[in-house]
Amino acid sequence: MKKIVTICLLFLFCSVALGARLGNVHIGDDTNYVERTIDGEIVLHGTARVSSCHIFESRELAPGSSGATETQLGNYVGYAYTINDDTVISFPMNKLHGWDSTSDLTVSIRYYINEAYATANGELQFEASWGATADGEAVDSPGSSDTIDSGDWNIPATAKHLSQAVLGTIPAASIEATDEIGIDIKRVALDDGNNPTAEPVIVCVAIGYTRNGI
């Protein structure tokens, strides 16, 4: 009985000691680290960062000046694009919670196409024209703007397979944390290669960014 009690007390002591150590944990070096405090809060120090992403669903995309066509396949609603068709999204930068103000934004799309890759009909290209507008600036003449071009990419090897394509980045130096961002996403002509017969359908747009907080 004495042996059992001793073992139980030893187990309890080790559990308490381990819990105390795990209550306040640092991951990283002495300057740049993630801290888990004893009350469960997670704090980033120095250059510690978190990769994050904000998703704009198809219902949040607005047809542009040459609007893409809303379409449904299975349980997915998206927009189908011929050459020069476009859709627009806009959002305040504070929607990207915790953005670290020094990291670029990455613009990506998730799409499918009812056609399989073949040499004679296998490429797509999109561009994203963006503007960053501050309070007091005209929305059609933003303080910073540019167009990012995806270049040609191959469609998936199997028809209707969901896929992701990165269109490019918006430089952090061109935007402020209080800006309103507007992005016009357009399908454009290929640099080379051949267009598929079917139209690609975008089901969502993703804005990737880096946070300096949790």
Amino acid 16: pLDDT: 39
* pTM (whole model) above 0.85: no
**Nearest to residue 170, comparing CAs of 203, 140, 138, 205?**
205
Kindly list the averaged pLDDT for each block of 10 residues, start to end, along the chain of length 214: 38 42 70 75 74 92 90 95 96 92 95 92 95 95 95 96 97 96 97 94 96 78
Amino acid 10: pLDDT: 39
- What residues form DSSP beta bridges with 210? 51
Q: How many CB atoms lie within 10 A of CB 116?
A: 16
d(CA 18, CA 12): 10
d(CA 42, CA 214): 7
Domain(s) of CATH 2.60.120.260: residues in the chain: 49-211
How many angstroms separate the first and last alpha carbons of the chain? 49
Amino acid 14: pLDDT: 42
Amino acid 23: pLDDT: 63
Q: Which CATH number fits domain 49-211: 2.60.120.260, 3.30.450.40, 2.60.40.10, 1.10.10.10?
A: 2.60.120.260
Strand extents, DSSP E, the chain: 25-28, 33-36, 42-45, 50-57, 62-63, 69-73, 76-80, 86-92, 105-112, 123-124, 126-133, 144-149, 153-154, 163-170, 180-187, 201-211
